[in-house]
Amino acid sequence: MKSKIAEKFRTLFGKDGEFFASAGRINLIGEHTDYNGGFVFPGAVDKGIIAEIMLNGTDKVCAYSIDIDEYVEFGLNEEDAPTQSWARYIFGVCRETVKRGGKIGGFNTVFAGDVPIGAGMSSSAALESTFAFALNYLFNLKIDKFELARIGQATEHNYCGVKCGIMDQFASIFGKKGNLIRLDCKTMEYKYFPFNPEGYRLVLLDSVVKHELASSAYNKRRESCERVTAAIRKNHPEVEYLRDAKREWLNEVKADITDEDCKRAEYVIEEVQRVLDVCDALERGDYETVGQKMYETHYGMSKLYEVSCEELDFLNNVAKECGVTGSRVMGGGFGGCTINLVKDEIYDSFIEKAKASFKEKFGHEPKVYEVVISDGARKLD
Ligand code: GLA
């Protein structure tokens, strides 16, 4: 990938720039908890974005995406926003950096990636983090890593229409080889957990479906949570996020909220606790509990939060039938992947069964990605 980028960069710009990279992510457990101030448990993966960048001394960005095979130029002011969605991510990162007082100028860039798009592995966070990290480095801005993650998140909010939480950008910036990271999204305290489950493998099965309107459905889930939080806060003013609410407090406001909002909140309150339970179980080496919690999350995401879909429920069922230790839909939902914790001895038969039965039902095989937990944003030599 790097040599392909370098070749294109020379052809386009006649010089060599510097290389930066960042990663997509997995999340073992803790879904839709981040914007509720709860816990998440992600890690960066060995699939990501690589960009070659060189400052060009102008106030223009000249960017080429190898994967889309498209060249775009844009200025750094608000009215210069490009229309191409891939370029909006880079533009958004520039704008959010400027909003934070970062003095930046134009640059030339060529980039490529291998995070499957729409798989729920945060290809967009990988792109944002690569550029946030690179601008910080190249312009010597001294922005701290948390703020770099927030630059990516704000890009989603203000330039891409997704009111996402901080998990993806955090994992993409803070990712460390061989480690998952438990993050408290309220306090931003985090802890690395070495993850090397002996006798097990983590594998993603990508349904290769992406349902339309995923981002508006995502934003609606967030609004549900905010409504319930506001209702609970009337009785318990200390509740800043849904994460702060006790299960009983939800019951107190049942009459004031819709059944749908109530189900959404029930899922979130349970999910926040599940992350803590999984971290405890991991420290004991108790993978059976880890797996059981993953199944519980799937159930909640499917029946209460309603962000699963037929294809993902199917993959989850196959996992259950094959005796897979844990399986659930990963990421925002509405398509994408399941993440599966599988014992070595049944790995091959599970993958074979999942591929064959999925193909029989949906006409194509799911894609299979073995998870390798890797480093996040960095400069390459
Ligand atoms: C998407 C968002 C994240 C998070 C997950 C669900 O990936 O970008 O902030 O909310 O969905 O856990």
- Can you say whether residue 235 is alpha, beta or left, with left for phi > 0 and alpha for psi between -120 and 50 degrees? alpha
For the cut 80, the answer to whether the pLDDT of residue 35 exceeds it is: yes
pLDDT digits (tens, 9 = 90+) for 300-323: 999 999 999 999 999 999 999 999
Say which CATH topology domain 2-195+375-380 has: Ribosomal Protein S5; domain 2 (3.30.230)
β-bridge pairing 39-40 and 179-184: antiparallel
- pTM for this model (two decimals): 0.96
More confident residue, 344 or 211: 344
Cα of 334 to ligand 1 centre, how many Å? Answer: 12
For the cut 80, the answer to whether the pLDDT of residue 346 exceeds it is: yes
| Pocket flag, ligand 1, residue 335 (CB < 6 Å) | no
For the cut 70, the answer to whether the pLDDT of residue 212 exceeds it is: no
pLDDT digits (tens, 9 = 90+) for 250-259: 999 999 999 9
Q: Could you report how far apart the first and last alpha carbons of the chain are, in Å? A: 14
Q: Amino acid letter at 121?
A: M
Residue 277 appears among annotated catalytic residues? no
Mutate which of 25, 27, 29, 32 for ligand 1 pocket (most atoms within 8 A of beta carbon): 32
Report how many helices (DSSP H) and strands (DSSP E) the chain contains, helices first: 11, 13
Mutate which of 39, 168, 173 for ligand 1 pocket (most atoms within 8 A of beta carbon): 168
Measured in whole angstroms, the distance separating CA 119 from the mean position of its chain's CA atoms is 10
For the cut 90, the answer to whether the pLDDT of residue 213 exceeds it is: no
Residue whose Cα lies nearest atom 8 of ligand 1: it is 164
Overall average pLDDT of the 114-130 stretch? 94
- Write out the H or E segment, with its range, that includes residue 268: helix 259-284
| Pocket flag, ligand 1, residue 34 (CB < 6 Å) | yes
Cα of 139 to ligand 1 centre, how many Å? Answer: 30
| Pocket flag, ligand 1, residue 32 (CB < 6 Å) | yes
The C-alpha atoms of residue 381 and residue 378 are separated, in whole angstroms, by 10
Cα of 377 to ligand 1 centre, how many Å? Answer: 18
| Whole-Å CA distances, 278 to 25, 114, 180, 283 | 18, 29, 12, 9
State the closest ligand 1 atom to the C-alpha of 33, by its place in the atom list counted from 1. 12
pLDDT digits (tens, 9 = 90+) for 146-205: 999 999 999 999 999 999 999 999 999 999 999 999 999 999 999 999 999 999 999 999
Percentage of the chain lying above the pLDDT 90 cut: 97
Cα of 367 to ligand 1 centre, how many Å? Answer: 21
Residues 6 or more apart from 310 whose CB is under 8 A from it?
A: none
| Pocket flag, ligand 1, residue 113 (CB < 6 Å) | no
Mutate which of 41, 167, 225 for ligand 1 pocket (most atoms within 8 A of beta carbon): 167
Task: Tell me if residue 331 falls in helix, strand or coil.
Answer: coil
| Degrees to nearest 5, angle at CA 202 with 346 and 181 | 155
The strand pairing partners of 60, in sequence order, are: 75
| Pocket flag, ligand 1, residue 203 (CB < 6 Å) | no
| Pocket flag, ligand 1, residue 331 (CB < 6 Å) | yes
Cα of 313 to ligand 1 centre, how many Å? Answer: 19
The C-alpha atoms of residue 214 and residue 365 are separated, in whole angstroms, by 22
Phi, psi of 148 (to 5 degrees): -60, -40
The C-alpha atoms of residue 379 and residue 45 are separated, in whole angstroms, by 16
Domain ranges of the chain: 2-195+375-380, 200-371
Residues 6 or more apart from 240 whose CB is under 8 A from it?
A: 37, 186, 229
The C-alpha atoms of residue 46 and residue 130 are separated, in whole angstroms, by 14
pLDDT digits (tens, 9 = 90+) for 266-304: 999 999 999 999 999 999 999 999 999 999 999 999 999
Candidate list 67, 114, 144, 168, residue with the active-site label: 168
For the cut 80, the answer to whether the pLDDT of residue 211 exceeds it is: no
Residue whose Cα lies nearest atom 5 of ligand 1: it is 332
State the closest ligand 1 atom to the C-alpha of 35, by its place in the atom list counted from 1. 10
Cα of 32 to ligand 1 centre, how many Å? Answer: 6
| Pocket flag, ligand 1, residue 164 (CB < 6 Å) | yes
State the closest ligand 1 atom to the C-alpha of 332, by its place in the atom list counted from 1. 11
Residues 6 or more apart from 107 whose CB is under 8 A from it?
A: 53, 54, 55, 56, 61, 62, 138
Overall average pLDDT of the 235-254 stretch? 97
Cα of 31 to ligand 1 centre, how many Å? Answer: 7
Entry field: residues in the chain: 381
| The pLDDT of residue 131 | 98
Residue 176: CB atoms within 10 A of its CB come to 16
pLDDT digits (tens, 9 = 90+) for 347-358: 999 999 999 999
Residue 138: CB atoms within 10 A of its CB come to 18
CATH label, 200-371, candidates 3.40.50.300, 3.30.70.890, 3.90.1300.10, 3.90.1200.10 = 3.30.70.890
State the closest ligand 1 atom to the C-alpha of 165, by its place in the atom list counted from 1. 9
| The pLDDT of residue 80 | 97
Mean pLDDT of the chain: 97
